[in-house]
Amino acid sequence: MKRLDHYWYTRSPWLLLLTPLSLLYRGIISVRRFAYRAGIKRSTRLSLPVIVVGNITVGGTGKTPLVVWVANYLREQGYIPGIVSRGYGGKANHWPQQARADSDPAVVGDEAVLLAVSTGCPMAVAPDRVAAARALVDQGDCDVIISDDGLQHYALQRDIEIAVIDGVRRFGNGHLLPAGPLREPEKRLQEVDLVVVNGLGGSDEHRMSLQQGDAHNLQDPEKTCTLQAFRSQRVHAVAGIGHPERFFRSLQQAGLQLDSHPYPDHHAFRPGDISFGDGRPVIMTEKDAVKCRHFASQNDWYVPVEANRSKAFQERLDALLDTRLPHRG
């Protein structure tokens, strides 16, 4: 049976049965937003500026590569960024947790470990973004905080908001949860500072593309191989991300022949999930690799991606940094 999120991107009439629940959800988030704006619910302003990179839909949009780019760009501009994340999928006994490159994804979450590996930034992880951000402030190792996701986490005040959209799937059927993929109505995008589209966007949106690098061996990440080197044989492609079809399509566009193995986002991989008994190469995303590195075989590979942003996006971000984050390290 197909998962519910499959039908969000099709014209499925039975989703109309969920419309009453979507209306209830709309009411709940509207009341919640009003409560924060009216001061009924507490919203915390930290001593450090906060940049939120998030989305208004459920599922993968390419947000994590953009978080990596923003962190690295801030460092180039003289800032010392730290990152907070929800730690989705992590099963820590207490929060917040510090996330490092060698942290256990089962404890702090796969995206947190990936961000720690990719940026080297100090990281704090907790379902409560305010608690995670305060941990970074108390640690004293950064002068600006990037919130990975958290666009809807209004308990944490922010200075800059960046929303990321999947250029192919966009907003699906346009309905709020659970009848559609929207966490908030589309009009929420009118309030953010930057709208970034992973793919083709509109005139008021900034285009971003994801550029694949060479494949890295899971047992020895220093060992690399071009994707073209895998064209001579059929490979297994594994992805436990929000939109696995995008990863599979990118490999096919590189000329690879695939047996595709999609898993749910944040899937807790076990050895049998990436072992197919035929000796053929297994290629996965970098996010999945952080969960498979301890039981990988010598023919398991991951493909990192980098966010390529438009010049207009960088110029707009520079203007926002100059006006809202005037101090530099």
pLDDT digits (tens, 9 = 90+) for 285-325: 999 999 999 999 999 999 999 999 889 999 999 999 999 98
Decide if 25 is inside a domain.
no
Q: Looking at the structure, do residues 172 and 227 belong to the same domain, yes or no?
A: no
**Residue 28 to residue 229: CA distance in whole angstroms:** 52
Residue 326 binned pLDDT confidence (cut-offs 50, 70, 90):
low
Q: Looking at the structure, do residues 64 and 163 belong to the same domain, yes or no?
A: yes
Helix (H) or strand (E) segment spanning residue 29: helix 19-37
- The total number of structural domains in the chain stands at 2
pLDDT surpasses 50 at 56: yes
What average pLDDT does this structure show over 184-190? 96
- pLDDT value at residue 31: 98
Q: Looking at the structure, do residues 220 and 205 belong to the same domain, yes or no?
A: no
Q: Looking at the structure, do residues 85 and 221 belong to the same domain, yes or no?
A: no
Residue 1 binned pLDDT confidence (cut-offs 50, 70, 90):
very low
Percent of the chain with pLDDT over 70: 98
Tokens of 298: 């010598």
Q: Looking at the structure, do residues 295 and 188 belong to the same domain, yes or no?
A: no
- pLDDT value at residue 89: 85
Q: Looking at the structure, do residues 129 and 226 belong to the same domain, yes or no?
A: no
Q: Give residue 207's Cα distance to chain centre.
A: 17
C-alpha dist (Å) from residue 144 to 60, 77, 293: 25, 12, 31
Q: Looking at the structure, do residues 295 and 312 belong to the same domain, yes or no?
A: no
Q: Looking at the structure, do residues 315 and 187 belong to the same domain, yes or no?
A: yes
Q: Looking at the structure, do residues 121 and 255 belong to the same domain, yes or no?
A: no
pLDDT surpasses 80 at 327: no
More confident residue, 88 or 1: 88
What average pLDDT does this structure show over 260-270? 93
What average pLDDT does this structure show over 146-171? 94
Decide if 107 is inside a domain.
yes
0.85 exceeded by the pTM? yes
Contacts of residue 182, Cβ cutoff 8 Å, sequence gap at least 6: 56, 57, 58, 171, 172, 174, 175, 176
Backbone torsions φ then ψ of 174, nearest 5 degrees:
80, 5
pLDDT surpasses 90 at 114: yes
* Host domain of residue 269: 214-303
Decide if 190 is inside a domain.
yes
pLDDT surpasses 50 at 82: yes
Q: Which CATH number characterizes residue 120's domain? A: 3.40.50.300
Decide if 101 is inside a domain.
yes
User: pLDDT digit string (tens) for 5-42?
Assistant: 778 888 788 888 999 999 999 999 999 999 999 999 99
Q: Looking at the structure, do residues 268 and 137 belong to the same domain, yes or no?
A: no
Percent of the chain with pLDDT over 90: 82
Q: Looking at the structure, do residues 152 and 266 belong to the same domain, yes or no?
A: no
Decide if 138 is inside a domain.
yes
Residue 182 binned pLDDT confidence (cut-offs 50, 70, 90):
very high
Q: Looking at the structure, do residues 234 and 174 belong to the same domain, yes or no?
A: no
Decide if 12 is inside a domain.
no
- pLDDT value at residue 88: 86
| Cα atoms found within 13 Å of the Cα of residue 137, Cβ hemisphere only | 13
Decide if 2 is inside a domain.
no
Decide if 29 is inside a domain.
no
- pLDDT value at residue 2: 57
